[in-house]
Amino acid sequence: MSEFDNADESNRDANAEFDTGFDTQFGALLADPTMWESPSDDLSDRIVSAISSESVNAPEPSAVRSGSHGRRSWARPALLGAAAAIAFLFGGLVLLSGLSGVEDVDSFSAELVPTGLIGDQSGAITVTSFDSGVRIELDAASLPRRDNGSFYAGWLKTFDGDLFPVGTFHDGVEVTLWAGVELERAEMFTITLEAAAGPGDAGQGSSGEVVLRTQINP
């Protein structure tokens, strides 16, 4: 076997080894569920920095002679090209995330005002508007717990006078309530004292015994 044949055989082995390694690594990357999470804002910068560091710190590639002309190994440029392709893929994911229709949300917080019905209680709500409705996160830990058929209920009153139930709860610790109403229609949020009532009972509606309230759109 000639010197040229030996060089060609070495190149084929190197190519096969690189292809196998690259396919395995790329397949593992695609199988990783974190690859499909929303990338962080600084991801592109970190990828570019890693590629630049690899370019500076990597050893010089060995030369493989073919005939009378020297030819450097293309393994390192190919690796850099693969890294650039991955960076491009992540950039595409960032772009798709931006174009995926993630809705802008309107959110604000408000203090709850006690009515004095059960003492000088306090609390606050964080209201967030979504396409599906309004989410109300309640923090009113001072409310005494109600059990055995007694509970609290949250309500949204609209400017039209409609009253929307947003949920019931035993105490005011880490409570999340929902209302299927547009935020701009909501005028006031209230918490009332309620007791279990049977089907068809007039008590199914609001008792009117408000303990905390706040205006949504003054």
- What is d(CA 101, CA 96) in angstroms, rounded to the nearest whole number? 9
Nearest to 187 by CA among 159, 153, 155, 152: 159
- What is d(CA 89, CA 80) in angstroms, rounded to the nearest whole number? 14
Tens of pLDDT, residues 89-137: 555 544 444 444 545 568 899 999 999 999 889 999 999 999 999 999 9
**What pLDDT does residue 62 have?**
52
**What pLDDT does residue 197 have?**
79
The values of phi and psi at residue 45, to 5°, are -65, -40
Lookup result for tokens 């190519």: 15
Q: Using H for helix, E for strand and C for coil, what is the string for the chain?
A: CCHHHHHHHHHHHHHHHHHHHHHHHHHHHHHCHHHHCCCCCCHHHHHHHHHHHHHHHCCCCCEEEECCEEEECCHHHHHHHHHHHHHHHHHHHHHHHHCCCCCCCEEEEEEEEECEECECCCEEEEEEEECCEEEEEEEECCCCCCCCCEEEEEEEEECCCCEEEEEEECCEEEEEEEECCCHHHEEEEEEEEEECCCCCCHHHCCCCCEEEEEECCC
Tens of pLDDT, residues 59-69: 555 544 444 44
Q: Among 61-75, 140-154, 164-178, 201-215, which is the least confidently predicted range?
A: 61-75
Q: Is the pLDDT of residue 2 over 70?
A: no
Q: Is the pLDDT of residue 37 over 50?
A: yes
Lookup result for tokens 């929902």: 178
Q: Among 78-82, 162-166, 199-203, which is the least confidently predicted range?
A: 78-82
Lookup result for tokens 């950039």: 91
Whole-model pTM above 0.85?
no
CB of 210 within 8 A of CB of 180? no
Query: How do strand 106-114 and strand 123-130 relate by DSSP bridges?
Result: antiparallel
